[in-house]
Structure formats: structure tokens, C-alpha cells
Amino acid sequence: MGSRVIRRDGLIIACAACVWAASLSAADEPLGPVFVSDLADRVLASTVGIQSSIDGGGFSGSGTVISSDGHILTSTSVVPRDAGNVTVLFSDFIRRPATVVAVDDALSTALIKVDARDLACLTLSRELPDVGTVAFSAGDVDDVMLANGRASFSRGIVSGIYAVTKQGEAAYEGDVVETTAAVNPGSDGGPLVDAHGRLCGVISLSVSRLRWQGVAVPTKVIVQRFEPLSSGRVKVAAGSTASPVAAPVQLVGLRRNAETLVPHLVGLEVERTWKPEQLPRISWGDERRTIADWNNLAEAARRQRFAAFANTARALDVNQLLRRPPGMVTGIVVSPDGFVLTSLFNVGDDTAFVARKTGQPRVIDAGEPLEKLLAEPEGGFEQKPNTVRKLTVSLADGSRHEARIHARHEPLGVALLKIDAAALPWFDLAAVATSPQLGDPVAVLGCPPSAGARPTLNAGIVSAPARNRGQQFQTDALLNYGNSGGPVFDAAGNFLGVAAAPIEPDTVLGRIFTLPQLMRWTRAPNSGVGLVARADRIRAVLEEMKQGRSFARIPGPFLGIQPDESRAFGENVVIGGVAAGSPAAEAGLKKGDVLLEFNGFELRQWRDLTERVAAAKAGDVVTLKVQRKGSGPRLVIAGRDIETAADLEKLKKSLKPGDTFEGTLSSDDSREFKAVLREQK
């Protein structure tokens, strides 16, 4: 089935009914008892580790055997042009020398051959897999084959298909297959395998800086354009009709529910004072050609120059993670009159490190030694906000509209934008918003990072239903620059929230950070810890935000206590601190108290308390049952615990002339307090 696409200035969002319905292929239906373990055995028997060298530089990675007589497909980042000393490590610690058959830099693809017969091999897929289908990666990650005799193996999904451009060691430009299956150092050149066990891509270094996920050059492209295969000169294994590994039922549900959201997805362009910073990256071959006396250098000097290049490249790659990249980010239309919901991160400021001498961010030159890149410029840095100057929303029909920030909700991490439009297709989030449940399968949709691509889909589970005082929840679905602001939903079609900031604490430009300085960033894109603004909390404030109200702090009632973090994973709700002047302090709660009940509701974990407080209203009088371990019996007079002289003074001040009262001596370590909740200020 074809799909209608609408193109406008680099953004294409396909008609949901066509794209997603078409992608719900037979691969979602099990045709036979195919198990992941069986497929893993076939893939790992065909996955190899590869080492090569060139001009003082060493290269390593993975590859896939594609013919029984020893042809192996890999990447030019593993076997670059003019590489020598190519060695292949097979399963069971078998080593074989290899010769280079062909290298195509434009495809980032290399073909090598070992002298062997009857090798296990994978067939090549001649088609692109569908977004949201099961996928597998394998590779010699961290020299695992030397330790275990077999490569590593990982399961995930195809999370996107889009175009990339040339970068560093990866010269390939064109469509790639993105996956959530593990891709780590050493994976490049290795196989990406579809649900049928076919090689559908060669893992590449060509990451999208909007996404920062593992990608592979599709075998469909390689078969068509790589001369040894397109000409038929090299015979590869025949195609397979093997039954696919069945997709989990939850994954099928997530893909089907995605089609109801795609028509309401929008792309958001954000212009700031300074343009996004892309740190320069070149290949070792390009760097080597700039060294005038290279041919006269001794081998030790060549290795030293290569090591310096590799260290600089590594520093630039890691620092690039902290840079907000160019390109469309994600939002969703939530009203017919032009309200668009996105993450506050998407429309927030970056921190620009501006050279005091020039008043501009420093220009980074990849040719400079690492020590100079890390040094401050003459006169030092000045930190300035890289503020938002213009917002443009691109709708699914291709139209573009200037947008303004209508309201912000900082605790949730969302922003409500407004465009001048009417009668828009819109997503009624209030109708399907629900609370997240621990362990539930979820997915997040993202805007496509290139023209002509389908929306991206990352799947995971709810890994913590309440974060940031219940305003957000945590998921292991991968969140990045591209899908921040995208809708998060479950397999039943419920709307769970909006993907929030993918990085913490902030994004920067103009400065290169050292490894110790990088430790400040506790969360980076696709870390596996993603925070999502909860849909039930969004629903509660959306109408107020439409009226223009912004929230700088959590709205609703305030009690004024914080947990004892040293006992956060226990079954008791233990108070770690009480805010001065808070309702809790006025009620008499103290650090170390164990909260047992809230208005008669038993408290087993801190989430129980935050949910009860959030459901209450400012001005409510609540009864808190507390366990407080003391040194012995206590005196209870007029319902008050009299344990100190201060307690007695408070009692005296509360009495009127002529008041009478009775007292008892109690040995019960539980007691009740009444607190009057107040509005957050």
C-alpha cells in the first residue's frame, strides 16, 4: 500500500492511516514456533570480530559472514580504504587472515574475504524493515569474543528510518535504519537483523544528532549500489522464507495506537540568538592527508599522531552530546484553535559560553590539539543565555505557522504554544489521559529527523510512576532531542504524557569540557532514564494554561515535608525534614517521624502520600497518624503531646481562663496530628 506524504521546508509527516496501517505487516503475526534463542544462535554463528591497521592507526569492530565461502560485510570504520593486516575472529576463538575485496566510501561499506568453506552465513534482506518491528543487533563489543568466544546479542525494535549526512569516519549519506537494540563501541560493521533473521543493515557510525541512537546502512541500499553485490560478482546466500520471531502483543498494540496520534504530530523549528553548534569531525584519512611530513615519520611517531587524533575525536563526540542540534523537534496539537503542547525543554534557553574578547561563542577547530581546545580563550568566558527568538510550527498538512509561547508549567516540564489557526485536527488528550502504572509498556512518538521519513517510535516501560513529586514519571523508552515534546502512550491507547527534557542539567555551546567537568551531566540523551510529564497532571491544568496561566511551582496543596533519602527504598514513609513555618511544622511533625496514615488511608510508600496530598485541596484539614519513637511514656493533655517545656507553653497559650482539661499517660508510640494544607507559594 502506498502512502501520501506532504512536503514543506524539510518536514514530511506521512498520512497516519497509510504509513502505520501499511507497516503493520505479517511480521507481527507468528507463523511458527520461532524463538529468540534459535535466531540468536544463527546470528552469532555468522557474526565476527575484525581488526585492521593503516598508517599507524588501528581499527576494530564487527562484521557479518554473507557467503559460505568466506565473504564478510563490514563498515569502512572497521576496514578503511588501504587497510592492511586484516584479521577476523570467529566464534570459538578461531582466527583467520582476510583480504580486502572492495571498499565503497560513499556507502561506508567494505567487503573482505577469508579462505574457508561451509561457513554459517546470513541472508541479505532486499527491503527496508517497518518502523516498530522487532530487530536484533550483534557485535564484538569491548572484545567480548576474546572473553566468551561469541559476540554479544541484543533485542530491540526498528525505531526510525530516515536520512543522514556525512560525518567523521562515516561518509555515507542516505537512509539508515535506526534501532533500539544495543549499539556500543565495537558494534560498528556488525549486523542489524530483522525478525526473519535476515541481515537488514550494517551498523554504522552515522548517528543523527537529533536522535543519538544506533543506525545501520540498509542492505537494500548496499545490494543495489555496492558493485560486488549489485553486479552479481559475489554470490551471497539465497533469500530465506523463514517464519519471523513473533512480535510481543504489547508492541503490536503500541504500533496500532501510534496511528491515532501521528496526524496530530507537529514539527517545531526554534531559532535562538546563536545557531546550533556542530563540532567539527573529520576522518583519520582526511586528518592524515593534512600532515605534510607523514611519509617521513617513524612508526612510533605515526602511532602517536593517531592516538592524539583519536583522543580529540572522542572528546568532540562526547561534547557534541551536550549541544542542542539543528532540526525539527516535536509537539502535538491539543485544540482545534491552534494550541500546541510540547516540552519546556524544546523552547528553553541554552547556556552560551561567549569569549569576552569577541562577544561570540568560540569557534572550535578540529585541527587544534586537545589541550588548546580545552583551554579558555584569551580574556576568558562569559556565560549568556542563548534565548529563543522565533518559533515556527509545521503541521501535518505542510502549512507553517509562527508560534508564541502561551504558557509554561515548569514542574511538569511542558509549554503550551499558540498558532493562529482554526478547525485543526486535534488530539483530545483529556479523553484518554490516565495515570502511569509501573511496568506498563509505553512508546513515544517523535517528529522525523529528515524529509520524507516516517515518525520515529521508541518503546519501553514505565520504570517509575512518580518522579518530581508526582508531576512526572520515568520510562526506559529512549528520549532524545528529536522526540522530546512527543506524546507517550500505552498499548491500550491511553495517553500517558509528554516526553520532557532528555538531558540534565542543561545544554551548552561554545566550550569544550574535560572528563571531570562532564561528570556534572547526570543524564544524557538515550540514557535509559527518561522523564515524562504525566498526562493526568497535564489534564488538570490544561484549561488554566489555555487561559494564559503559567506555573513556576507545583500547584495545589502543600504539606511541607521531605523524605528520608537513606530509607527511601524501605516500606516505611519516613520524614527526612520539615520545612519551617509549613503546615507540617505547625501541626508538630518532626524529622524521623514515620507516617502511618493520611485521613485513615494506610501509607506504605512515599508515593502513597504524594498522591493523597495532590488529590486534596488547599484549606483541607487532614489527619496524619504518625509513629514517633520516644524514650518512654508521654503525657497527653487535651489531645496534645506534652514532652517538652515548649509543648507545655503552647498548651498554656491555647487555653482560656476557666478552661479545664484531663490528661493521660500514654505508652503508645503512635499519635495523630491535624494539619491544614496550604497552597504552594
Note the pLDDT of residue 135.
96
pTM, two decimal places: 0.79
Whether the Cβ atoms of residue 470 and residue 609 lie closer than 8 Å to each other: no
Identity of the amino acid at 45: A
- Expressed in angstroms, the distance from the first to the final Cα of the chain is 56
Give per-residue pLDDT as tens, 75-112. 999 999 989 899 999 998 999 999 999 999 999 999 99
Complete domains list, the chain, with CATH: 30-245 (2.40.10.120), 260-278+323-546 (2.40.10.120), 557-679 (2.30.42.10)
CA pair distance 190, 626, nearest whole angstrom:
58
Note the pLDDT of residue 617.
86
Note the pLDDT of residue 378.
87
Report the chain (681 residues): mean pLDDT per 10 consecutive residues. Answer: 28 35 41 72 96 87 96 96 94 95 96 96 95 96 93 96 88 95 95 95 94 96 96 82 77 91 96 94 83 86 88 90 94 97 96 92 85 89 94 94 97 97 94 94 94 92 91 96 97 96 93 89 91 96 96 82 72 87 90 92 84 85 87 67 72 78 72 86 66
CA pair distance 651, 674, nearest whole angstrom:
15
Note the pLDDT of residue 141.
95
Q: Give the three cell numbers for residue 530.
A: 527518561
For the purposes of burial, counting CB atoms within 10 Å of the CB of 174, is it exposed (0-12), middle (13-18) or buried (19 or more)? middle
| Selection from 190, 243, 195, 174 nearest residue 72 by Cα | 190
Kindly give the pairing relationship between strand 94-104 and strand 57-65: unpaired
Per-residue b or e along 34-62, where b marks 16 or more CB atoms closer than 10 Å to that residue's CB: beeeebbebbbbbbbbbbbbbbbbebbbb
Secondary structure letter of residue 247 according to DSSP: P
Q: Give the three cell numbers for residue 352.
A: 552560551
Q: Say what the alpha-carbon torsion angle 327, 333, 334, 335 is, to the nearest 10 degrees.
A: 140
Give per-residue pLDDT as tens, 166-198. 887 788 999 999 999 999 999 999 999 999 999
The SS3 assignment for 144 reads: helix
Whether the Cβ atoms of residue 211 and residue 456 lie closer than 8 Å to each other: yes
Note the pLDDT of residue 240.
61
